[in-house]
Amino acid sequence: MKLRNIAIIAHVDHGKTTLVDELLKQSGSYRENQRVAERVMDSNELEKERGITILAKATSIVWKDTRINIVDTPGHADFGGEVERILNMVDSAIVLVDAAEGPMPQTKFVVGKALKVGLRPIVVINKVDRSDARPAEVVNEVFDLFAMLDATDEQLDFHILYGSGRSGWMAEAPEGPQDQGMAPLLDLVLKHVPEPKIHEDNQFRMIGTLLEANPFLGRMITGRITSGSIKPNQSVKVLAQDGSVVEQGRISKILAFRGIERTPIEEGVAGDIIAIAGLQKGTVADTFCDLSVTEPMVAQPIDPPTVTMSFIVNDSPLAGTEGDKVTSRVIRDRLLKEAEGNVALKIEEAADKDSFFVSGRGELQLSVLIETMRREGFELSISRPRVVLQKSESGETLEPVEEVVIDVDEEHSGVVVQKMSERRGEMLEMRPSGGNRQRLVFRAPTRGLIGYQADLMTDTRGTAIMNRLFHAYEPYKGDIAGRRNGVLIANGPGEAVAYALWNLEDRGPMMIEPGWKVYQGMIVGEHTRENDLEVNVLKGKQLTNIRTTSKDEAVRLTPPIRMTLERALTYIQDDERVEVTPKSIRLRKVYLDPTERKRKEKSSEFA
């Protein structure tokens, strides 16, 4: 059967996974009476909850006697490592662009990577049925983006289709016709996408692109066969990028993507995307090949991580009461297992063996890892996110700088500009984006953006949309003011009492509720002033045997601040940590004892 391999790349929420749903539906991948979930490719529990794609996944459809392998990719910049890896599996890409929003930062990132490896993309202007759609202008913006990214003349001569993934139609004009479904897109893929390039020699070669653990088959590596063929029980070897042999072994099972299912096959042929099982050590970016092959294939380089956090063994007084995986050994094994399949993550063990430095693309990527571990029963203590600094050849300190695009109502644009300038952001562009909204483009250090999302939502009454993308390492921009308010710290262990919380309300908003377990050094609220304050949340009302005619004042508490994981990570300062367990998210000071805390503050430890 003829083959085509294609990826769908776009900015977050531009409709990639919904488009794949429609392609599967209209190509006859489902039975007529089969019940199918919405966004079927988002199979991970966190993906379904958040409505975002976190992991790249493959599927395939058959159209006019040709099998089209499709890879769905994430749209968030934090998961850009997934996109960079899969580009060596495909021969073209569908660039999906929202007809109202136009090309966004992540569109620029993924298109740049696709053009660099020589792909000729197909541009699809999606959501043309939106009331604020402007397809003609968006096409010009896409052309300008391609030109800015140094596209060749061939790449600039891209095919354009218009349509709506949700409504299930594509056409060569924005107005339709709408009765042909997805056929125009699938026909264009057959006509425009080249057949897979295959090496002349007939020896089996494949680069590992995606790694996963299957409960029945063990480790599974997905990739595209570049040359030769592979059968079950065949002996293969795995070569690292430096040419050294990682392991030799037999392939126990070969699975191919057939619709949303993975089906065992008797032979994988050159050009097809398959998953193999049976090897214990081979991982992403390694070359899986015939025993006679000596040279590894070159894998795409991955951009370096920009943000790091410390994952520390939980040493609070409540450690081990809610989770069952608490020792440094199990945390280390879990992090190393994650780093195997996620090449954008970097894990380093600290000298004390009780903490690990985990570096990634952004807070979202790291918070997804923490949330996954938490659901698996881990207890952790997490430090504040810090940026990964580098040194230039001349010895100058460099820090990561991001391009930030903020869409906001005109009335709130002033406060956004002010806050971004306080965080050392430089404004590059300010233009109307339709519907009394403005698009502001900044270049700002990653340091200044940590924790800004919550402030932005407050300043703009929840109407702003912020998108970020790593730009480059640039000279250090200078100090940035941190959190202005101090915190309220519990001065002893026990259970919080409603009467005590009620009496402390004028000191600042609380983060805990009556009945919650607290310990000395735990953060229970935000102080209205700049300094930290130790408070007693355990003190109940003094009871006497004297009756009063007046009715006792009812204790009415203001609802506490709800700390989500992302908000907690960006809220804490350098001398604080987030304690994460399967049931709770608590904030605490690094040093729980107040005397020790004061001594460390006087020294330069947190300076």
Q: What is the DSSP string of 346-380?
A: EEEE-TTSSEEEEEES-HHHHHHHHHHHHHTTB-E
Cα–Cα distance for residue pair 393/401, rounded to 1 Å: 18
Report whether pLDDT(360) > 70: yes
Element spanning 286, H or E = none
Tokens representing 354 are: 């009780």
* pLDDT given for residue 20 in this prediction: 82
* pLDDT of 195: 86
Helix axes 452-459, 413-422, angle to 10 degrees: 150
User: What is the structure's pLDDT at 495?
Assistant: 92
Distance CA(552)–CA(343), nearest Å, equals 62
Contact 229, 272 (CB under 8 A): no
Which residue, among 568, 561, 560, has the nearest Cα to 587 in the 3D structure?
568
Q: Is residue 16 a known part of a binding site?
A: yes
| Residue 14 annotated in ligand binding | yes
pLDDT tens for residues 564-583?
888 888 888 888 999 999 99
Residue 244 to residue 209: CA distance in whole angstroms: 19
Residue 443 confidence (pLDDT) = 92
Q: How many beta carbons lie within 10 A of that of residue 411, not counting itself? A: 12
How far apart CA 193 and CA 196 sit, in angstroms, is: 9
| CB atoms inside a 10 Å sphere around CB 36 | 12
In degrees, rounded to 5, the angle at the alpha carbon of residue 491 between the alpha carbons of residues 488 and 495 is: 95
Please say whether the beta carbons of 204 and 292 come within 8 A: no
Q: Is residue 303 a known part of a binding site?
A: no
Determine whether the annotation assigns residue 128 to a binding site: yes
What is the residue whose two structure tokens read 């601040």? 561
pLDDT in tens, 128-154: 888 888 889 999 999 998 898 888 888
Pull the structure tokens for residue 499.
């009467």
- Mean pLDDT is lowest, of 9-18, 76-85, 97-106, 401-410, for 76-85
Percent of the chain whose predicted confidence (pLDDT) is above 90? 15
Residue 443, strand partner residues = 403, 426
> Is 528 flagged in the annotation as binding?
no
68-94 pLDDT per residue, tens: 888 877 766 666 666 777 787 888 888
Separation in Å, CA 65 to CA 7, 62, 169, 180, 264: 20, 6, 21, 19, 20
The CA radius of gyration of the chain, in Å to the nearest whole number, is 27
Instruction: Kindly state the average pLDDT of the residues 532-538.
Output: 91
Residue 526 neighbours by CB under 8 Å, 6+ apart: 485, 486, 487, 488, 508, 509, 511, 561
47: its two tokens: 């993906």
Q: Is 17 one of the annotated binding-site residues?
A: yes
Q: What is the pLDDT of residues 450-479, one digit of tens each?
A: 878 878 888 888 888 888 888 888 898 888
Q: What is the mean pLDDT of residues 37-52?
A: 59
Cis peptide before 177 (omega within 30 of 0): yes
List domains and CATH numbers for the chain. 2-192 (3.40.50.300), 205-289 (2.40.30.10), 390-475 (3.30.70.240), 487-602 (2.40.50.250)
Q: What is the pLDDT of residue 607?
A: 43
Read off the pLDDT of residues 236-273 as tens digits, 9 standing for 90 and up: 998 888 888 888 989 999 988 887 778 888 988 888 88
Answer yes or no: are the C-beta atoms of 325 and 379 closer than 8 Å.
Answer: yes
Q: Whole-number mean pLDDT of the chain?
A: 84
The response to whether 462 counts as a known ligand-binding position is no
Cβ–Cβ contacts within 10 Å for residue 527, how many? Answer: 18
Quote the distance between the C-alpha of residue 110 and its chain's center: 14
Instruction: With CA atoms as reference, report the closest residue to 287 among 242, 230, 234, 348.
Output: 242
Contact yes or no for 127/170 (Cβ under 8 A): no
**527 marked among binding-site residues:** no
For residue 368, the cross-strand partners are none
pLDDT (average), residues 472-489? 84
